[in-house]
Amino acid sequence: MEETIKLHIHNVSKIYRSNGDDVLAVDEIDLKIKNQEFATILGPSGCGKSTLLRIVAGLIKPTQGVVRLDGKVITSPGQDRGMVFQSYTLFPWLTVKENIQFGLELSGTPKAQKEQMAQAFVEKVGLKGFERTYPKGLSGGMKQRVAIARALANNPAILLLDEPFGALDAQTRSLMQELLTQVWEELHKTILFVTHDVEEAIFLSDRVFVMTARPGKIKAEIDIPLERPRSYEIKATESFLNLKKQALALIREEAIKATQYI
């Protein structure tokens, strides 16, 4: 069961056309994400990793290749792929609980069940007592917790996270990573996570794919055999630091290349 392929990104390329110039953003990427795996795409900024995630979400169409989820080709966005963005995308006119219920409402879930599920997720992300708060009354970290709960409440087949903690300060970021690990260890959803932060990638993932700078290709694949459950203390262990050293070397090369474009 553990080894079945959940998501197959099959030979996907994306060419953007801007002012008559063709820009190759994603170059023939082939990735297989296993069921219940926490996989991360690690790459320097502007490497096309967000583009790849958006293709998986169905928000943009690849120029070449297909993405299959549970064997079915993805053609448009759908509730089987929940997404969390870096920017705060909560609906400001809805309370925390109403935000979490948004997807359930669309799918016509009965009221009692909707209430109960939303409440469960409010508690899972540690926001009990904030059910009736509007997003304007929440901190950045709390907003992202709601965004994660909202995506999870929809019970997607896979969760896509596009640098969800990118706008948070270092301390909050670290706490959010722990929260996400806890949630994942409990629910075992398949997750595809995108980040440029090496430590974050290693701490969270089962497998990390390092992407090259423009055009984005997969450069290396690093298995993260660290034991679970993980806590922040693991970041100081030798095995963690070795993995970090390995990933840093790979990503540094790419970051240097990326700066040469600017």
Partner 1 sequence: MEGKKEKGWERVPRKIEDFFSPREPIPKSLYVILSLGSFAFFLLIWSILTYGGFIDPLFLPSPGRVFQAGVDLFVELGFTTDILNSVYRVMLGFIIAALIGVPLGLVMGTFKVAEAFTEPVVGFIRYMPASAFIPLFILWLGIGDVEKIAIIFVGSFFQLVLMVAVVAKNVHKDMLETAYTLGAKRVQVIWKVLLPASLPGIVDTLRIIVGWAWTYIIVAELVASASGIGYMIISAQRMLRTGNIIFGILTIGMLGLITDYFFKWLYNRLFPWVE
Q: Would you tell me the crossing angle of helices 140-153 and 170-187 to the nearest 10 degrees?
A: 20
What 3-state class would DSSP assign to 83? strand
Q: Which of 22, 2, 21 is nearest to 13 (CA)?
A: 22
* CA pair distance 183, 78, nearest whole angstrom: 22
Instruction: Find the shortest distance in angstroms from Cβ 131 to partner 1.
Output: 15
* CA pair distance 190, 9, nearest whole angstrom: 14
Instruction: Find the shortest distance in angstroms from Cβ 84 to partner 1.
Output: 8
Give backbone dihedrals phi and psi of 157, rounded to 5 degrees, phi first. -75, -30
Cβ proximity to partner 1: between 35 and 79 the closer is 79
Q: Which of 134, 186, 196 is nearest to 165 (CA)?
A: 196
Contact residues for partner 1, defined by CB under 8 A? 57-59, 76-79, 81-83, 85, 87, 89, 91-94, 102-103, 106-107, 134-136, 147, 150-151, 154, 160
* CA pair distance 143, 131, nearest whole angstrom: 12
Check: CB of residue 145 under 8 Å from CB of residue 126.
Answer: yes
DSSP 8-state assignment for residue 232: G
Instruction: Find the shortest distance in angstroms from Cβ 128 to partner 1.
Output: 21
Cβ proximity to partner 1: between 138 and 222 the closer is 138
Cβ proximity to partner 1: between 72 and 228 the closer is 72
Cβ proximity to partner 1: between 40 and 109 the closer is 109
CA 18, 23, 28, 33 dihedral sign is negative
Instruction: Find the shortest distance in angstroms from Cβ 48 to partner 1.
Output: 18
Cβ proximity to partner 1: between 161 and 201 the closer is 161
What 3-state class would DSSP assign to 235? helix
Cβ proximity to partner 1: between 54 and 230 the closer is 54
